Amino acid sequence: MLLGYARASSTHQDVERQIVALLEAGVDRDKIWVDKKTGANTHRDGLAGVLQYAREGDVIVVVTLDRLARNMRDTLNLIHQLGERGIGIRSLHDPIPVDTMSPDLLARMSVMMLALFAEMERVWNRERVAHARAKAGRSPGRKTELA
């Protein structure tokens, strides 16, 4: 059975594009779990729901692997835990196809590479944002109001 998981990093972001892609991939609407929460926290209700629901032979479909976990370690740990339960992961739009149910060594290696690339991109993005803020004379965090 195909199960879907979509995640946006914050409550004001939209997951509709991900949901449409999951539906087009054959996932039933009632089998899609959604989170609007940062991937830095692995304790997400939607992720917990799909992991609890999944059974041996199921495949969890995500639009891209970075929607599942935020860093390489969390991604590989999750894929390993699911693999031990006979549950696969498939991504739809990564530049290298991801299907953890494949016995192909290259397919398994592609998962590791994509997880590494996603983590590198997050680090570089954080550096770009910090640099832009510094040039603009702004410090990170929320503005505080003085009474």
pLDDT digits (tens, 9 = 90+) for 53-94: 999 999 999 998 888 887 778 888 888 899 899 999 888 987
Predicted confidence (pLDDT) at residue 112 exceeds the cutoff of 90: no
Question: CA nearest 78: which of 133, 5, 1?
Answer: 5
Spell out the domains of the chain, with CATH numbers in brackets.
2-136 (3.40.50.1390)
* pLDDT-based confidence at residue 137 (cuts at 50, 70, 90): confident
Would you give the end-to-end CA distance of the chain in angstroms? Answer: 56
Cα–Cα distance for residue pair 82/136, rounded to 1 Å: 44
Does the predicted model carry a pTM greater than 0.75? no
Query: pLDDT tens-digit profile of 18-61?
Result: 999 999 999 999 999 999 876 666 778 999 999 999 999 999 99
* pLDDT-based confidence at residue 6 (cuts at 50, 70, 90): very high
**Strand pairing partners for 2?**
59
* Encoded tokens for 133: 């803020």
Q: Among all residues, which ones are annotated catalytic?
A: 9
pLDDT, residue 144, reads 61
